[in-house]
Amino acid sequence: MTDRSTAPSRLSAWCLCASLLWTSAAQAQGLRPSGQLNVPRNPSPPTSAPATGQATADYIVALVNSEPITNSEVRQRLARVEQQLSERGGAMPSREVLAREVLEQLINERAQLQQATELGITVDEAAVTQAELSVAAQNQMTPEALRRRLAAEGLDINRFRGDLRRQILLQRIHERQVDSRVRVSEADIDEFIRDQQGSGSADSLELNLGHVLVTVPEGASEQRVQELQARAQQAAERARAGGDFAAVAREFSDAPERANGGLLGMRAANRLPELFVNATRALNVGGVAGPLRSPAGFHVLKVVDKRQGAMPGATITQTRARHILLRTSAQLSEAEALSRLAGYRQQIASGQATFEALAREHSQDGSAPQGGDLGWANPGQFVPEFEQAMANLRPGEMSEPLVSRFGVHLIRVEERRQNTLSQRDQREMVRGLVREKKIDEALNTWAQDVRGRAFVELREAPQP
């Protein structure tokens, strides 16, 4: 997922939970990509004690609309931030600088959480429990093992669940106030592709032009040329006024395509005359160019459709796999699901049953009627824990039973292939990239607005 620096802090280990995609209905329907979550380790204690006598006594460092942020909150977040930065390597800012940045992050979060409360956005216990189960699944643990791990690291389960609740709340207000309002147009996709290609050249531009040709006979007198130019000008004015271009073409055009309403059809720009491309490249759909003079006569052009072609050379490795999914519930524990799938695996390996038959009979996924066949999948199409296990298999191999946030799986890879993405697939991939970029920009603007409207009173400086 993309870093959103002015949204909830992505510095904190807890705040990695800001990408909790299990709270979205769309992702709850199947194997969808999501951010990776980590169980935070016990943060190390501060390496140096504060110089003042306030080192052991907590105090208020800021008020956000009368709600306090305390020094202990800053210190707790700071310790986790330092842990993450240390694990990533690289230069470490001074603790004083980092403490100020952490305080600003906490102020931003507090203001956004307050707005979520004002809008009536809530998070119930079931959502928090599902989030906890998902964290456990991503770390290949049972929920009980996760809690034992947290306790061993000195992390309180109630604080852990409280942080999960706040991150889900932040995600929900972002979805309502920002994500749901972002739209990606075909023009946005075209612009992105042009930027990636560097020039938007005729090699990638595609045009569908309406064409009117007023032929100028060879050797025509100057007066005759002016008469024909006036005729072409009349056609252009009718087209610009919004008249039916097909009717204009049938009335004025001498070109063969007049019978087709003057339409040339969608063509790569490098298959069109340079005169046509240069005149229409900068026009939007519906724009009219001309009259333009060529040796054949006068041309009037209307941009009926326009798009930037596919990006060249987009070749990916696709995987076709099958899986059997058992969803855990009050009637089926995770341990029982693991044991049951281990039994299915043994039956398949020994030839007592086929993967397809067991998937049809037992899988609790929409792919069950197809024998668990997931079709050809692009990289990143599934959640990370599923994707990683699938990537480690060779064609014909089966995985051991594995846990994801959706349940317990048995996977078999059928085959792999190199495939050049179709133009449609490439544009859909670009659509996702553009949407993420737009969301980031909109979220930054929204977060700054929320911060600007909050009454923030800075009290004493935090003591890291």
Asked whether the beta carbons of 298 and 214 are under 8 A apart, the reply is yes
Strand order across the beta sheet in which 205-215 lies:
263-268, 205-215, 297-308, 288-294
Cis peptide before 40 (omega within 30 of 0): no
Torsion of CA 33, 39, 45, 48, to 10 degrees: -10
What phi, psi does 307 have (nearest 5°)?
Answer: -155, 155
Q: Give counts: helices (H), strands (E), the chain.
A: 13, 11
pLDDT in tens, 290-327: 899 988 889 999 998 887 655 555 678 889 999 999 99
Instruction: Output the pLDDT for position 329.
Output: 83
- Partner residues linked to 63 by β-bridges: 68, 457
More confident residue, 30 or 359: 359
pLDDT in tens, 73-93: 999 888 888 887 776 665 677
* Kind plus residue range of the DSSP H or E element containing 376: strand 373-377
pLDDT in tens, 20-77: 222 332 232 234 443 333 444 433 333 333 444 444 578 999 999 999 999 999 998 8
Instruction: Output the pLDDT for position 197.
Output: 60
Which CATH code for domain 315-420? 3.10.50.40
Please tell me the distance from the alpha carbon of residue 181 to that of residue 394, in angstroms, as a whole number. 42
More confident residue, 267 or 122: 122
Instruction: Output the pLDDT for position 87.
Output: 67
Of 213, 246, 243, the closest CA to residue 229 belongs to 213
Q: 412 pLDDT exceeds 90? A: yes
Which CATH code of 3.10.450.40, 3.60.9.10, 2.40.30.10, 1.10.4030.10 fits the domain covering 14-184+440-458? 1.10.4030.10
* Kind plus residue range of the DSSP H or E element containing 64: strand 60-64
pLDDT in tens, 279-289: 888 888 889 99
Instruction: Output the pLDDT for position 94.
Output: 84
Q: For all residues of the chain together, what is the average pLDDT?
A: 80
Residue 405 CB-density burial (10 A; 0-12 exposed, 13-18 middle, 19+ buried): buried
DSSP designation for 256: G
Query: Which range has the worst mean pLDDT, 11-20, 114-123, 150-159, 437-446?
Result: 11-20
Asked whether the beta carbons of 111 and 454 are under 8 A apart, the reply is yes
pLDDT-derived band at 272, boundaries 50, 70, 90: confident
E strands within 93-221? 205-215
Instruction: Output the pLDDT for position 196.
Output: 65
Q: At what angle do helices 423-453 and 186-197 cross, to 10 degrees?
A: 100
Maximum Cα–Cα distance for the chain, whole Å?
101
Instruction: Output the pLDDT for position 140.
Output: 67
Instruction: Output the pLDDT for position 418.
Output: 87
Token pair for 347: 């039956």
Please tell me the distance from the alpha carbon of residue 14 to that of residue 160, in angstroms, as a whole number. 8
What is the average per-residue pLDDT within 152-176? 90
Type of residue numbered 293: R
Other C-beta atoms lying within 10 Å of the C-beta of residue 244: 12
Q: 355 pLDDT exceeds 50? A: yes
pLDDT in tens, 178-219: 988 999 998 888 888 777 665 445 556 788 899 999 988 888
- Residue ranges of the domains in the chain? 14-184+440-458, 205-308, 315-420
| CA-based radius of gyration for the chain | 31
pTM of the full structure: 0.53
Q: Which CATH class is domain 205-308?
A: alpha beta
pLDDT-derived band at 429, boundaries 50, 70, 90: confident
The answer to whether the 205-308 and 315-420 domains have the same CATH topology is yes
* Kind plus residue range of the DSSP H or E element containing 315: strand 315-326
Please tell me the distance from the alpha carbon of residue 107 to that of residue 9, in angstroms, as a whole number. 10
